[in-house]
Amino acid sequence: MGQDFEVPLEATVGAAPEEVWEAISTGPGIDSWFLGRSEVADGVVRTAFGPFDMPPSHVTAAEPGRHLAHSSDKADDGRFVAYEFMIEGRDRGSTLVRMVTSGFLPGDDWQDEFEAMSRGLELYFATLVEYLGHFAGRVATPLTEFGPPVADWAPAWDRLYATLGGEPAVGDRVAVNGVEGVVYFRNAQTLGIRSGAAMYRLMQGFGGSLIASHLLFEGGDDQGPRWRSWLAELPAG
């Protein structure tokens, strides 16, 4: 059993089409809003998320400043994921960006996987919008750390929110693990916080652990041990 899926997202950003293209079509650009580390070479997008390599995604359409599409090959069970970006320049240097993620999820648990994927895609797209609005042209160093296994997510999120002073809303100023910033996105499984030099993201890993997936625009990835310790100290739920 399985299911085809499609997740469309769009927003108008205060960046030129050329800046959007740089962010979605180059390794350093993708590193600055997506997950893990990516490289683009010979028509293939390769992404590593911590110790995990995602399936290579082959470019199927590339019209600079207007249209980009790439897709993984179909696995034996039918699984694949395809990404398509449409870019339209608007007045006063703004740009309409559409991202459509589609594919096929196999297995009886496809609904749970789709829920986790959708919530993650919402965070990544919100991060792309935030990047283009506040950090366009800069390159982030991705930092990815995994916490211990979580048995029950609801109390785990409650205890995380307690460290922030309560359940936050978009626009709230919060402090987490010694850094301060503004909440730019939140849904049931993710949280995004922007500071002047980074975007800090916390995500509910599908069937696993709380994940720190940060983007650092100053300094390197030497913050890893500090975030690893912080994740380990949070109650597992």
d(CA 184, CA 171): 6
Return the pLDDT at 101. Answer: 98
Pick the closest to residue 134 from 52, 192, 72, 206 (CA basis). 192
Domain co-membership, 124 together with 196: no
Q: What is the CATH number of the domain that holds 3?
A: 3.30.530.20
Domain co-membership, 219 together with 189: yes
Domain co-membership, 207 together with 126: no
d(CA 97, CA 67): 10
d(CA 189, CA 203): 6
Q: What pTM, to 2 d.p., does this model score? A: 0.95
Domain co-membership, 225 together with 120: no
With beta carbons less than 8 A apart as the criterion, state whether 150 and 237 touch: yes
Domain extent for 85: 1-137
With beta carbons less than 8 A apart as the criterion, state whether 80 and 54 touch: no
Given CA atoms 41, 85, 72, 207 in this order, what sign does their dihedral have?
Answer: positive
Return the pLDDT at 221. Answer: 67
Return the pLDDT at 237. Answer: 46
DSSP for 6-24? EEEEEEEESS-HHHHHHHH
Token duo for residue 219: 């300094």
d(CA 58, CA 41): 10
Q: What is the pLDDT along the chain (237 residues), one digit of tens a residue?
A: 899 999 999 999 999 999 999 999 999 999 999 999 999 999 999 999 988 999 999 999 999 999 999 999 999 999 999 999 999 999 888 999 999 999 999 998 899 999 999 999 999 999 999 999 999 999 999 999 999 999 889 999 999 999 999 999 999 999 999 999 999 999 999 999 999 999 999 999 987 899 999 999 997 768 899 999 999 987 544
Total count of residues recorded for the chain: 237
H or E stretch at 176: strand 173-176
Report how far apart, in Å, the C-alpha atoms of 18 and of each of 2, 24, 92 are.
38, 10, 14
Per the structure, how many domains does the chain have? 2
Return the pLDDT at 236. Answer: 47
